[in-house]
Structure 1
Amino acid sequence: MRYPIITLTVLVFVGVITALVAGAENTGRWAATIYVAAFISWTLVRMVRDVLRGHVGLDILALVAMIATLAVGEYVASLIIVLMLSGGEALEDFAGRRAKRDLSALLDRSPRTAHVLEWADADAGEAIRDVPVDEVKIGDVLLIRPSEIVPVDGSLLTETGSFDESSLTGESMPVTREMGGEVLSGAINGSRAVRIRAVRTSEDSQYQQIVALVRAAEDSHAPVVRLADRFAIPFTAVSLVLAGTAWALSSDPTRFAEVLVLATPCPLLIAAPVAFLGGLSRAAKAGVIMKGGAVIEQIARVRSAAFDKTGTLTQGRPRLIKVRPAEGFDADELLMLAASAEEYSSHVLADGIRRAAEDRGLALRTASAAREEATNGVVATIDGRTVTVGKPAYVIAIAPDTPRAALDVGEAAAYVAVDGRFAGVLVLADDARPEAASVVSWLRSHGIERIIMLTGDVRSTAESVGHRIGVDDIHAELLPPEKVRLAQDLQPRPVMMIGDGVNDAPVLAAADIGVAMGAKGATAAGDAADIVILVDSLSKVVDAVSIGRHTLRVALTAIWIGIGLSLALMIVAMTGIIPAVAGAVTQELVDLATILYALRALRGPRDLA
């Protein structure tokens, strides 16, 4: 039995009504009194536990209402209050399932098994073994049947494959992958069976990272408690004052009960949680995972925004456009040494250098030793030579003969030194995202008072990108601690920081709201952030702010609708024209109205695509 208290309350209610109809009023009164008294005792125990945990709940109103109705002989009304409170659990469950349907859909789609291909023998050939997805190891060959969900991130072994990645990227059209291309977990295979080689375990794969974020969002109820507590004490005090005043003016204790039955707190206890779940669900549908309702409150009130540059305001896929070797080095040698060293770097420029070397067919060397200096560069020992690749200031400290390279607007440079001698410069270009300017403009026109750029890149490159997209407050050539300090000191608050790289994790954690561009895979930034954007588009920052503001507005409106109707009805009840039973039933309708309104959070703001 899912809701035993509701079932028991209904049975008692039917029994009491039957006794009244049969003329056995005393039997009905005693049955109702004993049952409601037991329910009051149970509620009192729960309330005391909440108070000991530091949470002043709203159950005191319902508790006083039940005691008052019993004291004045309105035992049918007291049963209706019990039914309303116990039925609130079922109503909250229903509304909650409706509100978080998109979150639940992501969890329900999570793949649970994988078909591992193993070589049996020469006669039998390959054998298929179904294993739990958590047992898949890197290097396992998996069979993905038509319309199945890819269980782990892998590399395609079949010549081509078509996959629906809409749940990961928001792209509605199927995408085609060629042999060797990456296939993300959570994608749905097309009409042909394909094979992939696992490149990550289930725990580290894209879809499982999303599922972990969703579970964290579902389990967070902090803002709901804060919102309810914010109104609990004033609403309780006003309700008791109105009920006491009605009793004093009328000299009739029944009036106290008649007023108080209209003060039950379901709009606060249920409507606010439903609205926040609806907001979380709507955000997930838009490709934005918010880690709990507390984030919704914060982003709804954001007043400052700080952006990283590379991979956030820019596309994050820099391409090599020039190789400028120093005397004694040729272009291919310089690129080969730099790319070999950058094999040990996580910086986005390193990826562009490695891709350029691969495109030229250069064979990379394995380093005998390597280390990365966060945001500065990488040092590797290759074929007995010490190769340093990084920012100009970092390389100049190692090779004092390093000159500053002349760069055009939008270009970035990786400086290279070999054995303490300047070896050359690799020039790359990383174009600004096409939507970056419109996102900055929208934020500025919607109450974001200050927008800045925090980047480790050189000032000339940062300023060229910033000026093109409308950001004039630029802080460049920063180390991670400097980013954190600037984010902590930024005014006005709350501050939203948007970034994507591993080096952004500290500043994302330090900001009031950290937003990670996580579409290209799980990173430390995603772990540190409060919001993870699953779609590779900066415009989702606008969606996140819009959904946050809409959700908070719906939650507060639902609360005020409930409080306003309850107060108006209590004032009317002070005249004595609303009997206790009618008041209890009317309050049920108020509760239903506020909860239905709270479900509007699912729709999201009107301008959301």
Structure 2
Amino acid sequence: MARLLKLVRRYWVVTLTLAIGCLGIVLALMDAGSAVPWIFSGYALAIAAWQAVGMVRDMLRGHWGLDILAVTAIVATVAVGEYIAALLVVLMLTGGEALEDYANRRAKRELDALLTRAPQLAHRLEGDDIVEIPADQVRPGDVLLVRPSEILPVDGTLRSAETTLDESSITGESVPAEKRAGDAVLSGAVNGQSAVEIVATATAADSQYQQIVALVAEASESKAPVVRLADRYAVPFTLFSLALAGVAWWLSGDPVRFAEVLVLATPCPLLIAAPVAFIGGMSRAARNGVIVKGGGVLEQLSAAKTAVFDKTGTLTRGEPTLVAVRPTRGFGGDELLAAVASAEQYSSHVLAASMIEAARERDLPLADAEWAREAATNGVQAKIDGREVVVGKFAFVREHAPDASRTAIAPGELAVYVAIDGRYAGALLASDRLRSNAHSTLERLDTLGVHQTMMLTGDAKATADHIAAELGITRVRADCLPVDKVHEVSAITERPVIMVGDGVNDAPVLAAADVGIAMGAKGATAASESASAVILVDDISRVAKAVEIGRDTVRIALQSIWIGIIVSVGLMLVAAFGFIPATVGALLQEVVDLVTILAALRAIGGRRDAKAAGRSDVAAGVVSRGAVAGR
């Protein structure tokens, strides 16, 4: 009941129109029917005048819309005495606007969920006390208590031993994430079944969740080019409708025929179809872990011809992993790795985490250092178990161990050299792993019409060529500076161009591309802010999914527009011969409105995504069973 009252208040003009209609029925039953034509006609003309004011304002701003047909239809039906048809046209016009608004709210449900779930409060630990404060008052370094099933108010690191977080609203992943002490946690995630403590690393405004909210707000306010294309139909459709109505009047000699045609020319389907479809497409994209910053982006994605990729963190995981341990004589492999991992505990280099993780995977004990110091960009020195361990670049290690020699590496690999107590101890090889689904993503893009691919990277040519060869990419540019990437993308002739990247250095080229897609799962960066779309989960296959959603959305938008045009024109032609009375025509147009909205709502795509997920699950099950049989 409360929901119904809310709808009644929100769409009060529709409510008033229905009330006027009910009043007319009551008066007719009470033998006071002579007042009904005056009431219906007066109310219809009042609504027409209200609509006309808005129409004139739009015209003064240079926008020629389709409302002129609705206003003309109302005036024409009143003029020829078809007052019931006039009221039905008013109901159609106001009801169409209400349906559009309701459909938009329905289509934006997934987007709005991000806004309504924004955490408002935080529980800060101050000594033995727990103080409840607004989330926007949290500062980096604050220790916060997060109770079971509460939303994390800010980004931070986990202080408690472990927890399970539901990050589906952030990443799109439905599987709960297991977190341990020291792991980064994101605002907007939902805590598990036990209370935990986190240390804030950002304010609420700078946290991941608020950055996503900002992107969503920007996305929901945009208007796509295809929507403007629908508006451009206004003048020819209006002229055609008025001309057809005039011809029908002239041939029949009956002015009622003019009103009958215009009742069916009311263009609500044309106005509603594209906006509903594009908002539905943005909602579908958000549900699939992609925030699209506007309907125009979906249109560009649907027509994309070329996809350009950064390498590190995009086609590869951006996290080098250990691939080989090469100790020299006198040192064991596990001994060498344990010494390196123990020393790397005191390094901030990106490779440090990889070495430590590799040692833990082999259950190797990590020792504390008596002392440690890091030489920026070169390596780290540490006293471990009474031995001096030096880890880093070849030149740095050779300064401490003159007998050091370079080791052979394959394209895409890098070497970390090690000296122990002044002797060269060996090298560890690491490689940035190719994403497991990178190749399948490129194949999927090709089937979707994105036939040209290119890789731009700041890495060395040998490494770039190695990765490109594995993926079948033939157009490669290595050793790129940010400005080089912009020039390369600007020179591409097969457009629109999609650019996919993840780093701050990719921000200029993401902004320069027709569609910039940022891999933003690891945090909101300059890349995310300059991109047209942001992938919230660390999964490159979402690039192909975004293109698929764009193609589906544009197809459905255009289908819905033409459904409205064709059905309306067909009914107008029938009415021109006098076969559809004005009152019946107004009722038919309501049905056309509803059909058009339902057609446009297909862009939300819930069933398509569910079917696709089902096919993926079946395929995974077949592979899994095959693997078991193979053993």
Q: What residue in structure 1 maps to residue 495 of structure 2?
A: 493
Contact in 2 for aligned 1:146/1:189 (Cα 8 Å): yes
Q: What residue in structure 2 maps to residue 203 of structure 1?
A: 205
What is the deviation of 1:231? 2.4
Q: What residue in structure 1 maps to residue 240 of structure 2?
A: 238
Match among 117, 121, 127 for residue 125 of structure 2: 117
> Is 1:78 matched with 2:86?
yes
Cα deviation 1:157-201 (Å, max 9, x = unaligned):
111212222222333332222211112212211111111111111
Q: What residue in structure 2 maps to residue 573 of structure 1?
A: 575
- Kindly tell me: are residues 514 and 413 of structure 1, through their superposed partners in 2, closer, same or farther at Cα, counting changes over 3 Å? farther
What's the secondary structure of 2:150's corresponding residue? coil
Match among 65, 87, 93 for residue 73 of structure 2: 65
Q: What residue in structure 1 maps to residue 4 of structure 2?
A: none
What's the secondary structure of 2:98's corresponding residue? helix
> Is 1:476 matched with 2:478?
yes
Q: What residue in structure 1 maps to residue 526 of structure 2?
A: 524
Contact in 2 for aligned 1:289/1:534 (Cα 8 Å): yes
> Is 1:277 matched with 2:279?
yes
Separation in structure 2 between the aligned mates of residue 588 and residue 310 of structure 1, nearest angstrom: 54
Separation in structure 1 between the aligned mates of residue 351 and residue 301 of structure 2, nearest angstrom: 34
**What is the correspondence of 1:375-394 to structure 2 with a 5 Å cutoff?**
none
Cα deviation 1:452-502 (Å, max 9, x = unaligned):
111111111001001101111111111111100111121211110000011
Identity of counterpart residues, as a percentage?
Answer: 54
Contact in 2 for aligned 1:165/1:187 (Cα 8 Å): yes
Which deviates more from structure 2 when the two are superposed, residues 46-55 or residues 535-544? Answer: 46-55
Q: What residue in structure 1 maps to residue 39 of structure 2?
A: 31
> Is 1:103 matched with 2:111?
yes
What is the deviation of 1:407? 3.9
Which deviates more from structure 2 when the two are superposed, residues 532-541 or residues 154-163? Answer: 154-163
- Kindly tell me: are residues 219 and 426 of structure 1, through their superposed partners in 2, closer, same or farther at Cα, counting changes over 3 Å? farther
Separation in structure 2 between the aligned mates of residue 15 and residue 175 of structure 1, nearest angstrom: 59
Question: Residue type matched to 2:602 in 1?
Answer: R
Contact in 1 for aligned 2:124/2:143 (Cα 8 Å): yes
- Kindly tell me: are residues 232 and 366 of structure 1, through their superposed partners in 2, closer, same or farther at Cα, counting changes over 3 Å? farther
Q: What residue in structure 1 maps to residue 513 of structure 2?
A: 511
Question: Residue type matched to 1:214 in 2?
Answer: V
Separation in structure 1 between the aligned mates of residue 323 and residue 168 of structure 2, nearest angstrom: 33
Separation in structure 2 between the aligned mates of residue 477 and residue 408 of structure 1, nearest angstrom: 18
Structure 1 segments unaligned to the other structure (5+ residues): 120-125, 325-330, 344-349, 371-377, 383-388, 393-402, 416-423
Q: Give the total of aligned pairs.
A: 558
Separation in structure 2 between the aligned mates of residue 431 and residue 27 of structure 1, nearest angstrom: 80
Separation in structure 1 between the aligned mates of residue 490 and residue 99 of structure 2, nearest angstrom: 42
Separation in structure 2 between the aligned mates of residue 197 and residue 86 of structure 1, nearest angstrom: 52
- Kindly tell me: are residues 28 and 200 of structure 1, through their superposed partners in 2, closer, same or farther at Cα, counting changes over 3 Å? same
Question: Residue type matched to 2:244 in 1?
Answer: L
Match among 555, 558, 582 for residue 556 of structure 1: 558
- Kindly tell me: are residues 140 and 31 of structure 1, through their superposed partners in 2, closer, same or farther at Cα, counting changes over 3 Å? same
Question: Residue type matched to 2:278 in 1?
Answer: F
> Is 1:298 matched with 2:300?
yes
- Kindly tell me: are residues 404 and 588 of structure 1, through their superposed partners in 2, closer, same or farther at Cα, counting changes over 3 Å? farther
What's the secondary structure of 1:78's corresponding residue? helix
Question: Residue type matched to 1:117 in 2?
Answer: L
What's the secondary structure of 2:133's corresponding residue? strand
What is the deviation of 1:356? 4.4
Which deviates more from structure 2 when the two are superposed, residues 204-213 or residues 452-461? Answer: 204-213
Question: Residue type matched to 2:210 in 1?
Answer: Q
Contact in 2 for aligned 1:495/1:512 (Cα 8 Å): yes
**What is the correspondence of 1:162-181 to structure 2 with a 5 Å cutoff?**
162-181=164-183
**What is the correspondence of 1:231-380 to structure 2 with a 5 Å cutoff?**
231-319=233-321, 350-352=349-351, 356=355, 365=373
What is the deviation of 1:566? 0.7
Contact in 1 for aligned 2:499/2:509 (Cα 8 Å): yes
Question: Residue type matched to 1:169 in 2?
Answer: T
Question: Residue type matched to 1:520 in 2?
Answer: K
- Kindly tell me: are residues 28 and 244 of structure 1, through their superposed partners in 2, closer, same or farther at Cα, counting changes over 3 Å? same
Question: Residue type matched to 2:350 in 1?
Answer: D
Q: What residue in structure 2 maps to residue 400 of structure 1?
A: none
Q: What residue in structure 1 maps to residue 61 of structure 2?
A: 53
Separation in structure 2 between the aligned mates of residue 468 and residue 151 of structure 1, nearest angstrom: 42
What is the deviation of 1:430? 0.4
Contact in 1 for aligned 2:459/2:478 (Cα 8 Å): yes
Separation in structure 2 between the aligned mates of residue 453 and residue 408 of structure 1, nearest angstrom: 20
Which deviates more from structure 2 when the two are superposed, residues 76-85 or residues 231-240? Answer: 231-240
Separation in structure 2 between the aligned mates of residue 151 and residue 257 of structure 1, nearest angstrom: 59
Match among 522, 535, 538 for residue 537 of structure 2: 535
Contact in 1 for aligned 2:120/2:134 (Cα 8 Å): yes
Separation in structure 1 between the aligned mates of residue 272 and residue 281 of structure 2, nearest angstrom: 14
- TM-score by length of structure 2 reads 0.81
Question: Residue type matched to 1:595 in 2?
Answer: I
Contact in 2 for aligned 1:320/1:353 (Cα 8 Å): no
Contact in 2 for aligned 1:339/1:364 (Cα 8 Å): no
Question: Residue type matched to 1:475 in 2?
Answer: R
Q: What residue in structure 2 maps to residue 456 of structure 1?
A: 458
Question: Residue type matched to 1:543 in 2?
Answer: K
Question: Residue type matched to 1:456 in 2?
Answer: G
> Is 1:15 matched with 2:23?
yes
Question: Residue type matched to 1:80 in 2?
Answer: L
What is the deviation of 1:542? 1.2
Which deviates more from structure 2 when the two are superposed, residues 6-15 or residues 354-363? Answer: 354-363
What is the deviation of 1:608? 3.8
Question: Residue type matched to 1:118 in 2?
Answer: E
Cα deviation 1:498-548 (Å, max 9, x = unaligned):
000110000000000000011111111000111111111111111111111
Separation in structure 2 between the aligned mates of residue 238 and residue 561 of structure 1, nearest angstrom: 17
Contact in 2 for aligned 1:99/1:599 (Cα 8 Å): yes
- TM-score by length of structure 1 reads 0.84
Cα deviation 1:249-274 (Å, max 9, x = unaligned):
11211111101101111112222221
What is the deviation of 1:404? 11
- Kindly tell me: are residues 592 and 446 of structure 1, through their superposed partners in 2, closer, same or farther at Cα, counting changes over 3 Å? same
Match among 541, 544, 547 for residue 546 of structure 2: 544
What is the deviation of 1:353? 5.0
The two structures, once aligned, show a CA RMSD in angstroms of 3.3
Separation in structure 1 between the aligned mates of residue 201 and residue 372 of structure 2, nearest angstrom: 21
Match among 422, 435, 438 for residue 437 of structure 2: 435
Q: What residue in structure 2 maps to residue 226 of structure 1?
A: 228
What's the secondary structure of 2:10's corresponding residue? coil
What is the deviation of 1:425? 11
Contact in 2 for aligned 1:340/1:365 (Cα 8 Å): no
- Kindly tell me: are residues 81 and 322 of structure 1, through their superposed partners in 2, closer, same or farther at Cα, counting changes over 3 Å? same
Separation in structure 2 between the aligned mates of residue 17 and residue 531 of structure 1, nearest angstrom: 53
Question: Residue type matched to 1:269 in 2?
Answer: L
What is the deviation of 1:22? 4.8
- Kindly tell me: are residues 243 and 342 of structure 1, through their superposed partners in 2, closer, same or farther at Cα, counting changes over 3 Å? farther
What is the deviation of 1:56? 1.8
Which deviates more from structure 2 when the two are superposed, residues 353-362 or residues 204-213? Answer: 353-362
Separation in structure 1 between the aligned mates of residue 555 and residue 372 of structure 2, nearest angstrom: 56
What's the secondary structure of 2:465's corresponding residue? helix
Question: Residue type matched to 1:231 in 2?
Answer: Y
